[in-house]
Amino acid sequence: MKRTAFFVSDGTGITVEALGRSLLAQFEHTEFTYVIKPFIDSTDKAARLVEFINNVHKEEGIRPVVVDTIVNDDVRSVLETAEAFTLDIFSTFLAPLEQELGSASSYSVGKSHSIREDDKVYKDRIDSVHFAIDNDDGGRTRHYDKADIILLGPSRCGKTPTCLYMALQFGIRAANHPLTDDDFEYGELPKAVRHYKHKLFGLTIDPVRLANIRNERKPDSRYASLRQCEMEVDEAELLYQRFGIPYINSTHFSVEEISTRMMDEAGIERRAAPK
């Protein structure tokens, strides 16, 4: 079954998309087309969106699912006229919380993503992103002593996006260093990381998947050949095993799963709450 799902917010839409995707992912037999609509913060915008939703209903012959975090009552009233199944995240959870805490919610737009001048958590996240960029792919190695974790792996196995995700979401200072033919030939760890063995974590990947990724960048090259990819993956895993470096296969995991599994196994605490 196919359904269209709208994630609607009067702010950035980050919260409602994260929650909505998590909810709808539980329904494996339904294929959803996601439509994200942020900054629906006036009745005029809501009315135009309702018209769009109703057209989708008419074209598809089945009402869309609308998940929203709208806090303005007037805007919500307009949205509720849509020919759709609507799920208001805030009202579902805030009312019981208000009763339990004995306090009224502020119902502030974008509250979970706002920052203050003294917001250390936000600063840590930004500093960690800069660290990940500055220490990407072995380009710079002199700050490895400040890293919380250093990722190893063949080229294009997911090191960079994993480092950036850990930095942005959790404030983790993550560097990454590539494994090359020279490392495989001598069976040794790269010189730059040998003193930081306790910080190392490896990535591996299915060779066929790696060849497909590399072919998108350098088609029909030795770098992208299946033979080369098989050799690099085999040698990388031998290195991990030889030096007792924990590693994870990135083939079937999202960057979110890779990051959280890696941090859990390495015993790294989050500095920042996920955004």
The tens digit of pLDDT for each residue in 51-90 reads 999 999 999 999 999 999 998 889 999 999 999 999 988 7
Of 46, 9, 2, whose CA–CA distance to 24 is shortest? 2
Classify residue 180: in a domain, yes or no. yes
Looking at the structure, tell me whether residues 10 and 95 fall in a common domain: yes
Looking at the structure, tell me whether residues 96 and 124 fall in a common domain: no
The pLDDT value recorded for residue 204 is 98
Domain boundary at 71, 101, 131, which? 101
The pLDDT value recorded for residue 146 is 96
Q: Which residues are annotated as a binding site?
A: 153-160
The pLDDT value recorded for residue 272 is 63
* CA pair distance 154, 203, nearest whole angstrom: 8
Percentage of the chain beyond pLDDT 70 is 93
Classify residue 111: in a domain, yes or no. no
pLDDT at 140 over 80: yes
CA distances from 169 to 77, 117, 126, 129, 243 (A): 34, 19, 10, 9, 30
pLDDT at 117 over 60: no
Looking at the structure, tell me whether residues 235 and 125 fall in a common domain: yes
Looking at the structure, tell me whether residues 32 and 126 fall in a common domain: no
The tens digit of pLDDT for each residue in 22-43 reads 899 999 899 999 999 999 999 9
Higher pLDDT, 100 or 235: 235
- Provide the domain limits for residue 31: 2-101
- What b/e sequence results for 14-45 when a residue is b if at least 16 CB atoms lie within 10 Å of its CB, and e otherwise? bbbbebbeeebeeeeeeebeebbbbebbeeeb
pLDDT at 220 over 90: yes
The tens digit of pLDDT for each residue in 164-189 reads 999 988 999 999 999 999 999 999 99
Looking at the structure, tell me whether residues 230 and 135 fall in a common domain: yes
Looking at the structure, tell me whether residues 69 and 183 fall in a common domain: no
Phi first, then psi: what are they for 249, rounded to 5°?
-85, 120
The pLDDT value recorded for residue 107 is 58
Looking at the structure, tell me whether residues 97 and 145 fall in a common domain: no
Total count of domains within the chain: 2
The pLDDT value recorded for residue 124 is 84
Q: Which residues are annotated as a binding site for ADP?
A: 153-160
Classify residue 272: in a domain, yes or no. no
Q: Which amino acid is at 182?
A: D
